[in-house]
Amino acid sequence: MRDEIKVTESDVEERGMGENLDRLNENLARVEELSKRLVAALAQRQPGDAGLEGPGQDLYLKAGMAYWNEVMTNPAKLIEHQVEYWGKTLTHFVEMQQNIAQGQFTAPEDDPDLAGDKRFSNPLWKTHPYFNFVKHQYLLGAKAIEEAVAGLEGLDPKDRARVEFFANQMIDLFSPTNYLATNPDALERAVETDGESLVQGLENMVRDLESRQGELLPTLADPNAFKVGENLATAEGSVVFRNRLIEVIQYAPTTETVHRTPLVIFPPWINKFYILDLKPQNSLIRWIVDQGYTLFVVSWKNPDESFAGIGFEDYIEDGYLEAIRVAREITEEKQVNVIGYCIAGTTLTAALSLLKKRGEKPIKSATFFTTLTDFSEQGEFTVFLQDDFVDAIERQVEAEGILDSHYMSKTFSFLRAKDLVYGPAIRSYMMGEAPPAFDLLYWNGDSTNLPGKMTVQYLRGLCQGNALCEGGFEILGETLSVKDVDIPVYAVACQTDHIAAWKDSYRGFRKMGSRNKTFVLSESGHIAGIVNPPTKKKYGHYTNPDLPDTPEAWLEGAEYQEGSWWPRWEEWLSNRSGKQVAARVPGGAGYSVLAPAPGTYVLEKTNG
């Protein structure tokens, strides 16, 4: 087989291929070997539930009916769209042919929609007749699809949002940058390296397929560049408590005195807590400790199949209430302040409601980072929160006991497909580049499984049922509601957050029963808006002491503030954290040090 694809010296002379014959043949030999591995890797892929791969047949039926209804009731409109598309396509083709025949080429003005689109940054997209033609044909097709979808009548808002999402997925998929023959960057790189880039790209693809049992999703960060506990999550501290769900880490003080009231952070159990302690210069954990607080952080156990029956009640009882108890006993304080991030903030709301029902007051104040409690509007997640998809997840967790981290990673990635799927795939598979040494992307890939019961409770009860805001969330023998939260609360939402949209966060926060509510809107997204140290002076924030009926009204009356929200929040927190006392070392009051930070649970990996 290898002799059949070997390039000879006569081939080189006839084709003018240069002096790199040996290197080229080496690359061809590597391609043969990699092709065998590719076939073997693809064979590992197990067929999954079709409901997790795309929308159910009912959505296709609804979209098809809406389309044909438009055909029957307004055929002139459809014909007009088609003729317009055909006319523009043919006109552009004729113009290109004429330019080439005349031996000249003047590129037309770039489409304004391409401003800032990194996919088409190579000058050849504008100056080369072939690539310019391909680009504009793609743009014409994309616009035609968008207009066709926009013209569909009779779809309810959720179905329309889903049709638009999947139409945009198709548009992104068929971008010419995703294919070697129509990607000038990849072709130039292949020529420069005598095909080495393509071979390395195939190597990267095979590696990803092998590591994910035949499922293709590009690796976003160099897996060997970081090690948790060595160059990530290095803040000094100790694990002082461990049970089946959590490790509680108490961080070592860096000041001689600390505020009397301790602080407990509950990070989300989708991914891991060290997003708050990536590097020293952007570590919120280090910054809080440096401000003089006794800080406890929960590190969640990465679930396996044995966690199938673990639900929200377990996360509240064995997670939240246990961590709060530990912090109070170690510090010998009656109350603590708490923070909940994302889904951990949603669950913190339920825990606060439960404590209210029980007549217990161990919490002095609560802060919520990018937290949703009102799911009446589902934003970009509308696509994944309808019955066809949730039914498929329910079948998956019933069969396996957990929702494998792969599904969550894939969902979040395709919400930003250009940046998290196709862009990395092009760089890795066509350009042959190694994944970058990027701490945030490394953390993003260090994902976690979700327990089966908790997953269904979250999707059915909270996301679909909106139970915390409408009717109540029934667990632990109580009916829990946001209205029960009556302690001082502070919320930080992020302006471009595509996971917890800030307007949705505002609506739920406003419904809390507390008379003391502060809402802050940070610039940037779900992570960068929170991990925003003052020293970087990168993102500002908005403040408004009033909480009008709508988020739009809040923003209209808000004042923009330069720099990070951290100092502003810390001033609020310090007023609720008591007098200064001698700094506390980890442990004590009957609690021994079990392991150094970042602990053991955070090191556990998923199969994917």
Cβ contact 383:409 at 8 Å: no
What mean pLDDT value characterizes the chain? 87
Range 137-140 contact pairs with CB under 8 angstroms and sequence separation of 24 or more: 137/89, 137/92, 138/174, 138/175, 138/176, 139/111, 139/113, 139/114, 140/85, 140/88, 140/89, 140/92
Residue range 208-263, pLDDT digits in tens: 888 877 778 888 899 899 999 999 999 999 999 999 999 999 999 999 999 999 99
- For the question of residue 342 being annotated catalytic, the response is yes
pLDDT (tens digit, 9 = 90+) per residue, 410-460? 777 777 788 888 899 999 999 999 999 999 999 988 989 999 999 999 999
Who's near 514: CB < 8 A, 6+ residues apart? 485, 486, 487, 488, 489
Question: First-to-last CA distance in the chain?
Answer: 34
Give the model's pLDDT for residue 74: 61
pLDDT digits (tens, 9 = 90+) for 167-188: 888 889 899 999 999 999 999 9
Q: 502 pLDDT exceeds 60?
A: yes
Q: Is the pLDDT of residue 18 over 90?
A: no
Segment 58-96, tens digit of pLDDT = 655 655 655 555 555 666 666 666 667 677 777 777 877
User: Rg for the chain (alpha carbons), in Å?
Assistant: 28
Q: Which of 97-106, 382-391, 568-577 has the highest mean pLDDT?
A: 568-577
Q: What is the tens place of the pLDDT at every residue in 346-366?
A: 999 999 999 999 999 999 999
Q: Which is catalytic among the residues 342, 463, 469, 494?
A: 342
According to the model, what pLDDT value does residue 16 have? 47
294, 571, 577 from 331: Cα distances, Å: 8, 22, 13
Residue 299 in contact with residue 323, Cβ under 8 Å? no
Among 294, 489, 261, residue whose Cα is nearest residue 362: 261
For residue 326, which of 357, 361, 362 has the smallest C-alpha distance? 362
The pLDDT, as a whole number, for residue 216 is 80
Confidence label for 14 from pLDDT (cuts 50, 70 and 90): very low
**Helix, strand, coil distribution of the chain in percent, nearest 5:** 50, 10, 35
Q: In this structure, are residues 544 and 557 in contact, taking their beta carbons and an 8 Å threshold?
A: yes
Arithmetic mean of pLDDT, 175-202: 91
Instruction: Give the rounded percent of residues in the chain with a pLDDT score beyond 90.
Output: 59
Overall residue count recorded for the chain in this entry: 608
Residue 578 pLDDT more than 50?
yes
- Rounded Cα distance, 20 and 559, in Å: 63
The torsion of the CA quartet 542, 544, 547, 551, rounded to 10 degrees, works out to -30
Q: Is the pLDDT of residue 9 over 60?
A: no
